[in-house]
């Protein structure tokens, strides 16, 4: 049996879809769905049971959750980079993960959890997923801080030889439709690009970067899921690993790929960035991928252009994995 938290969310539901494709249906899914926005992500999925996140963690704490579990894939967390509720992040992201990780380790259960590239902050410490860099990371927001605090807890308590933490970079793809303003730019811009032939990107406020030339490590969700399953299937490999492509691309590149995917000539317009974002904005992210490669993962990542073209086919009707 495999437990997937955040199972109705973006990456979590894509993991469930892939597990089903691999013949895994003995799944316990965990999430919180106060409304219907995420229900489409679980449509057609096969699993044993679904638990609300609070019900589930209470079962873990009380000893009522059966320990006959092969693995816990913990994707559940608040991923808002703008929320300013530190107490909520501490309870929902940090303490919840500590409790679940402790239970998994106590029962010899494989534990794979979502960290984030947000932990790297402005990138001044680099983007290596080694222990020294993990200790030096300075996130720019409370979400990143909550992920950093758990990474440090696992590292300083010697737990990283018994679990895997995955620092996801800019993941995009099907099943993110429920995320509102936290959706990828591809998802938010698709309809206007397809119907009007226009996209808006933030201006640059750094002289080293022209408008739209700020860069991110964009990784397609199908590649991210493949990496998760690699660690599920290789329980002897542990530690913190980046989940990116190792190839930073500009927002202009992303926009041009989307125009190409829908058959439109590029019309990119640059708009002012909200003041609240300017001091916390990352101008460059690029995952250092050598550690993952040295761990034996050899599959090539989907190119940005191919990934956007594939995603556009889903976006047309907001279809799901």
Sign of the Cα pseudo-torsion (80, 75, 122, 186, in order):
negative
The domain spans of the chain are 2-171+218-246+286-301, 175-215+248-284+308-315
Given a cut of 90, is residue 24 above it in pLDDT? yes
- Least confident range of 19-33, 43-57, 84-98: 84-98
**The two three-digit tokens of residue 204, written as one number:** 């640059």
Given a cut of 90, is residue 92 above it in pLDDT? no
Task: Give the percent of the chain with pLDDT over 70.
Answer: 100
**The two three-digit tokens of residue 40, written as one number:** 């489409």
Average pLDDT over residues 123-127: 95
pTM, full prediction: 0.96
What's domain 175-215+248-284+308-315's superfamily in CATH?
UDP-galactose 4-epimerase, domain 1 (3.90.25.10)
What's domain 2-171+218-246+286-301's superfamily in CATH?
NAD(P)-binding Rossmann-like Domain (3.40.50.720)
Predicted confidence (pLDDT) per residue in 156-190, tens digit: 999 999 999 999 999 999 999 999 999 999 999 99
By three-state DSSP, how is residue 81 classified?
Answer: coil
Q: Band of the pLDDT at 271, cuts 50, 70, 90?
A: very high
Pairing of strands 71-74, 2-5: parallel
Measuring CA to CA, how many Å separate 182 from each of 37, 46, 80, 170, 218? 14, 27, 7, 11, 15
8 A C-beta contact, residue 308 and residue 258: yes
Active-site positions read 143, 179
d(CA 315, CA 179): 14
* Residue 106: predicted pLDDT: 95
* Residue 308: predicted pLDDT: 98
Average pLDDT of the chain to the nearest whole number: 96
d(CA 78, CA 80): 6
């Amino acid at each position: 049996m495999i437990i997937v938290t955040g199972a109705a969310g973006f990456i979590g539901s894509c993991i469930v879809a892939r597990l089903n494709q691999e013949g895994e249906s003995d799944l316990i899914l965990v999430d919180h769905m106060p409304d219907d926005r995420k229900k489409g992500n679980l449509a057609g999925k096969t699993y044993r049971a679904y638990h609300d996140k609070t019900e589930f963690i209470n079962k873990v704490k009380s000893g009522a959750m059966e320990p006959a579990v092969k693995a816990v894939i913990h994707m559940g967390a608040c991923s808002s980079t703008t929320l300013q509720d530190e107490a909520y992040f501490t309870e929902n992201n940090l303490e919840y993960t500590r409790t679940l990780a402790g239970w998994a380790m106590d029962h010899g259960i494989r534990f794979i959890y979502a960290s984030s590239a947000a932990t790297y902050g402005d990138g001044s410490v680099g983007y290596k997923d080694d222990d020294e860099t993990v200790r030096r990371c300075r996130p720019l927001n409370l979400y990143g801080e909550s992920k950093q605090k758990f990474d440090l807890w696992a590292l300083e308590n010697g737990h990283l030889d018994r679990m895997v933490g995955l620092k996801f970079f800019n993941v995009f793809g099907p099943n993110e439709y429920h995320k509102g303003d936290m959706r990828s730019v591809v998802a938010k811009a698709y309809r206007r690009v397809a119907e009007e032939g226009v996209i808006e990107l933030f201006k640059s406020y750094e002289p080293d970067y022209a408008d739209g030339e700020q860069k991110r490590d964009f990784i397609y969700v199908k590649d991210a899921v493949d990496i998760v399953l690699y660690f599920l299937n290789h329980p002897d490999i542990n530690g913190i690993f980046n989940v990116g492509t190792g190839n930073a691309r500009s927002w202009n590149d992303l926009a041009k790929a989307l125009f190409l995917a829908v058959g439109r000539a590029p019309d990119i317009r640059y708009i002012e960035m909200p003041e609240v974002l300017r001091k916390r904005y990352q101008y460059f992210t690029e995952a250092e991928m050598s550690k993952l490669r040295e761990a034996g993962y050899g599959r090539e990542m989907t190119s940005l252009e191919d990934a956007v073209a594939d995603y556009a086919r889903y976006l047309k009707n907001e279809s799901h994995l």
